[in-house]
DNA sequence: CGCGGATTCTGAATTCGATTCAAATTCTGA
DNA sequence: TCAGAATTTGAATCGAATTCAGAATCCGCG
């Protein structure tokens, strides 16, 4: 009988429950104050039960980071299906990142923490793998776009492999997220709209990488209009 | 009498002692296993004494991150004084970062951790400020270089403030460090020489930003030669 | 010198929270 | 309905950061 199967589903559902509670607690009181016992309590389960799902706090954190990846993946896939030039879609990924970061700043703080040696190393290997895989579609979408751009002549990789190429925008985005989410750094630089700048800089990077059609770096209005258009046409469902 | 003064110096020296011990322990056993009691023990002091210098473990970590910043600052200043085009010096900063990251990968893991919400927030504000200031010369050197480039016509900021401009290479570098120091990420992408790529991508970014003289992105040999030259002429003292 | 108060050091005791595990409970299949 | 098997429970354990009451040391002065 399917009893065993039903049970499995119940248990899987509980995993979501725990992750949701953890997310809420983090939202309310910050990553710093997250306590395993509070997570269990909030779900009306004993701590021991929580530990059947996650062998350690680190395990839970990485699992949470994996689960939250899905929404960003959805946004990327939406952009990937957009009918527009390869270059505009590449910018679209950046816009997606920007919107997502505004919607869920906590997610980036969590990612930043989860990828830290201390946490990452302490999480079980299987969970780490799952986290990498949960984020893999972002990479996949980017690689496919790069292939398409190469195929139709928008882009010449100049001897790089697609993976090597996409490291550039990827690093720029990750770095920007790190900077934005470290309290006190931007204030010092007097920067108020970091993600707006990120778009500009990614556009300039794409110019430097020779992704056609090259954009006129002077024409700020055009870039803003493009970003606006991406928000309206493609990512309207995700605007905060 | 100067007794009071001598004492102050002894105490300051002890701070270095503690930081040095912490650094060694981290090297040996990893950030994960750092214990306050071990740090004190290794210096033949009681834990209480350690806590007179650092009110918490986070305080110690951020202090360590600040102290270690000095060497990188030295490298940057060396590059800043190099007689070369503004653009080559900008590349030089990237080379310095690369060499430093190879020499002290632990430092970046520490920085990554220290800038994490959990640690950063838990450190006293004064210490955070000090850490930002310890790193400020990096920013300062970059801003001065940008000013010089603007002054002699190598660079047109296109309406950006220098701080906004330098966010681009800064984010790219930070992002690259994050990616490199997260175990398992690069393997997935099959990237073996990330910092080599970073130089290439920073050069392409500078092209996109219009920093003259523009480089020929096809000419890999030229870039390699430049990096080589910077190592030999400017940063020889820091090569591992 | 030697003294009393101020300062600094000490490390055992406390605290806090993650993690464990023996007992209690619930489920399963016959 | 019953004997295991599987799951859940939460009090007990453990580990490490942090504290703090007393011990030791220092300082300036008579």
Q: Say if A39 falls within a structural domain.
A: no
Range of the domain at A142: 69-105+125-238
> Are B120 and B161 in the same domain?
yes
Instruction: Specify whether B157 is located in the same domain as B124.
Output: yes
Cis, peptide link before residue B240, omega less than 30° from 0: no
Q: Is residue A118 part of a domain?
A: no
Counted domains in chain A: 1
Which of B201, B218, B220 to probe by mutation at the A interface, max A CB count within 10 Å?
A: B201
Containing B30, the helix (H) or strand (E) segment is none
Helix-strand-coil percent breakdown of chain B, rounded to 5? Answer: 80, 0, 20
Same domain, B24 and B136: no
Answer whether residue A179 is part of any domain. Answer: yes
In whole angstroms, what is the distance from residue B138 CA to residue B163 CA? 12
Each residue's pLDDT expressed in tens, for chain A with a length of 240 residues: 456 666 677 777 899 999 999 999 999 999 999 999 999 999 999 999 999 999 999 999 999 999 999 999 999 999 999 999 999 999 999 999 999 999 999 999 999 999 999 999 999 999 999 999 999 999 999 999 999 999 999 999 999 999 999 999 999 999 999 999 988 889 888 999 999 999 999 999 999 999 999 999 999 999 999 999 999 999 999 987
**Minimal Cβ distance to A210: which of B163, B181, B217:** B217
Q: B154 and B226: one domain? A: yes
- Has residue A91 been placed in a domain? yes
Q: What pLDDT shows up at residue A1? A: 40
Judgement on whether residues B34 and B65 belong to the same structural domain of the protein? no
Residue with CA nearest to C11's C1' atom: B46
Nearest CA in chain B to A106: B117
Residues B141, B209, single domain; the answer is: yes
**Per the CB < 8 Å rule, is A32 touching B117?**
yes
> Which residues in chain B come in under a pLDDT of 50?
1
Residues B43 and B66 in one domain: no
Q: How far is the CA of B83 from the C1' of C14 (A)?
A: 60
- CB-nearest partner of B170 from A167, A175, A218: A175
| CA angle at B92 for the pair B90 and B93, rounded to the nearest 5° | 70
Dihedral angle over CA of A84, B215, B199, A108, nearest 10: -30
Strands in B74-165 per DSSP E: none
Which pLDDT score, from 0 to 100, does residue A166 have? 96
Is residue A119 a part of any domain in this protein? no
What number of other Cβ atoms are within 10 A of residue B231's Cβ? 17
- Compute the distance between CA of residue B49 and CA of residue A42 in angstroms, rounded to an integer: 40
> Does residue B2 sit in the same domain as residue B88?
no
CATH number for the domain spanning B210: value is: 1.10.357
Same domain, B176 and B227: yes
CATH of the domain at B18: 1.10.10
Residues B49 and B61 in one domain: no
Question: B20 and B82 share a domain?
Answer: no
Establish if A113 belongs to a structural domain.
no
């Amino acid at each position: 009988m399917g009893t065993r199967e039903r049970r499995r589903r119940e248990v899987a559902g509980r995993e979501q429950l725990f992750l949701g509670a953890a997310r809420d607690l983090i939202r309310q009181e910050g990553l710093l104050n997250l306590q395993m016992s509070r997570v269990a309590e909030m779900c009306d389960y004993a701590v021991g039960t929580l530990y059947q799902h996650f062998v350690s706090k680190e395990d839970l954190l990485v699992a949470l980071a994996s689960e939250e990846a899905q929404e960003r993946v959805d946004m990327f896939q939406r952009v990937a299906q957009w009918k527009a030039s390869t270059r505009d879609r590449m910018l679209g990924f950046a816009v997606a990142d920007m919107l997502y970061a505004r919607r869920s700043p906590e997610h980036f703080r969590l990612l930043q923490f989860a990828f830290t040696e201390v946490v990452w190393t302490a999480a079980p290997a299987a969970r780490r793998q799952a986290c990498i895989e949960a984020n893999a579609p972002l990479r996949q979408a980017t690689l496919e776009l790069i292939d398409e751009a190469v195929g139709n002549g928008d882009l010449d990789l100049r001897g790089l492999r697609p993976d090597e190429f996409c490291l550039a925008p990827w690093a720029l985005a990750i770095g920007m997220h790190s900077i934005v989410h470290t309290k006190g750094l931007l204030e010092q630089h007097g920067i108020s709209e970091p993600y707006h700048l990120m778009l500009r800089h990614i556009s300039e990077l794409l110019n430097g990488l020779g992704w056609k059609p090259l954009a006129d770096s002077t024409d700020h209005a055009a870039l803003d209009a493009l970003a606006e258009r991406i928000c309206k046409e493609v990512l309207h469902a995700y605007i905060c």
